[in-house]
């Protein structure tokens, strides 16, 4: 997922311990990650335009049910093959946010989130970065850990930029 050029800029990183928010900012963009619900907000400082990584009011969506509702709140939707050879789907909200199994770190212009699906035995590291041209996100595929469940596919930021019910 790419907005802009990744070869430029260092951002100012700040972790607000009072609100559980990690903030990155450069001259053009601000990227905030709320650790409570694992939501990203990208703001273009030149025009005030805001993109959200999840459907902000997704849990209140009257048309979605079950996993479809928690998918709206997820950075990752993962399809995997269980040890019993059954194809299954999960998401980062259900298995990581609710269980508080995401580890965050910050390095210059990048937030790394390691999504630990502990009950399923796998973890997926993801990097979110800002540049002076935009935003990038990438799965660190070399450092994915799998147990007896095999990951078949990962959807990264499936609802990035989606509107909520009041938009």
In tens, the pLDDT along 111-123 reads 999 999 999 999 9
Residue 14: pLDDT over 70: no
State the average pLDDT over residues 43-66. Answer: 77
- Radius of gyration of the chain from its Cα atoms, rounded to whole angstroms: 16
Token pair in block for residue 140: 């660190």
Residue 9: pLDDT over 80: no
Residue 4: pLDDT over 80: no
Quote the CA–CA distance of 13 and 17 in Å, as a whole number.
Answer: 13
Distance spanning both ends of the chain, measured CA to CA: 23
Size of the chain, expressed as the number of residues it contains: 167
Helix (H, G, I), strand (E, B) or coil at 119: coil
Helix (H, G, I), strand (E, B) or coil at 43: strand
State the average pLDDT over residues 50-54. Answer: 88
């Amino acid at each position: 997922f790419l907005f802009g050029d990744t070869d430029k800029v260092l951002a100012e990183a700040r972790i607000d311990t009072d609100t559980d928010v990690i903030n990155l900012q450069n001259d053009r963009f601000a990227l905030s990650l709320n650790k409570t619900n694992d939501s990203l907000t990208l703001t273009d400082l030149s025009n005030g335009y805001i993109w959200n990584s999840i459907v902000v009011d997704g849990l209140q969506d009257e048309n979605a049910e079950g996993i479809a509702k928690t998918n709206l709140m997820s950075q990752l939707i993962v399809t995997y093959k269980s040890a019993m050879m059954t194809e299954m789907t999960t998401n980062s909200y259900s298995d990581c946010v609710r269980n508080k199994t995401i580890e965050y770190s910050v390095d210059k212009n990048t937030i790394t989130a390691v999504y630990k699906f502990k009950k399923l035995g796998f973890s997926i590291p993801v990097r979110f970065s800002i540049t002076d041209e935009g935003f990038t996100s990438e799965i660190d595929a070399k450092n994915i850990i799998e147990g007896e469940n095999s990951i078949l596919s990962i959807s990264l930021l499936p609802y990035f930029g989606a509107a909520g019910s009041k938009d």
